[in-house]
Amino acid sequence: MSSDPVLILADEPTGNLDDNTGDTVLTLLLELTRDSGKTLFMATHAPEVARLADRVLHLDHGKLVSDQAWKASHQP
């Protein structure tokens, strides 16, 4: 991240990737953000990816239906 952003937006970052490449991308994103105190805002339809987050917002037809916060305890 050459411009050193405080917020990183990722829309389905693993959507079209094979499992190994997707795990690599997730690991890099999580390391980049957690180790440097940055915020990662990621959209995903994959429950296994969402479980890695510290907070998950569930939307249904554009409306917020749940907001779960927890400390992610594992890496991809």
Residue ranges per domain, the chain?
Answer: 15-69
pLDDT at 3: 82
For the stretch 14-53, pLDDT in tens is 999 999 999 999 999 999 898 898 999 999 999 989 988 9
Q: Is the pLDDT of residue 63 over 60?
A: yes
Tokens standing for residue 63: 């409306």
Q: Where are the beta strands (DSSP E) in the chain?
A: 7-11, 39-43, 55-60, 63-69
Q: What residues pair up with 8 in beta bridges, in sequence order? A: 40
Specify the residue for token string 């190994």.
Answer: 20
Cβ contacts of residue 65 below 8 Å, gap of 6+?
58, 59
pLDDT at 61: 95
CB count within 10 Å of CB 14 equals 21
Q: Is the pLDDT of residue 76 over 90?
A: no
